[in-house]
Amino acid sequence: MDDDDDEGPPLPPGGKNYMTPAGHARLRAELHALWSVERPKIVEIVSWAAGNGDRSENGDYQYGKKRLREIDRRVRFLQKRLAIAEVVDPAAQTQRDRVFFGATVTFVNSRDEERTVTILGVDEAEMSRGEVSPSSPIARALLRARAGEAVRMMTPGGWEEIEVLAVSYP
**Domains located in the chain, CATH noted:** 15-87 (1.10.287.180), 90-168 (3.10.50.30)
Q: Which pTM value belongs to this model?
A: 0.81
Query: What is the predicted pLDDT for the residue at 7?
Result: 64
Per-residue three-class SS string for the chain: CCHHHHHCCCCCCCCCEEECHHHHHHHHHHHHHHHHHHHHHHHHHHHHHHCCCCCCCCHHHHHHHHHHHHHHHHHHHHHHHHHCEEECCHHHCCCCCECCCCCEEEEECCCCCEEEEEECCCCCCCHHHCEECCCCHHHHHHCCCECCCEEEEEECCEEEEEEEEEEECC
Of residues 37 and 5, more confidence is placed in: 37
pLDDT in tens, 62-109: 999 999 999 999 999 999 999 999 999 999 999 999 999 999 999 999
pLDDT in tens, 127-166: 999 999 999 999 999 999 999 999 999 888 899 999 999 9
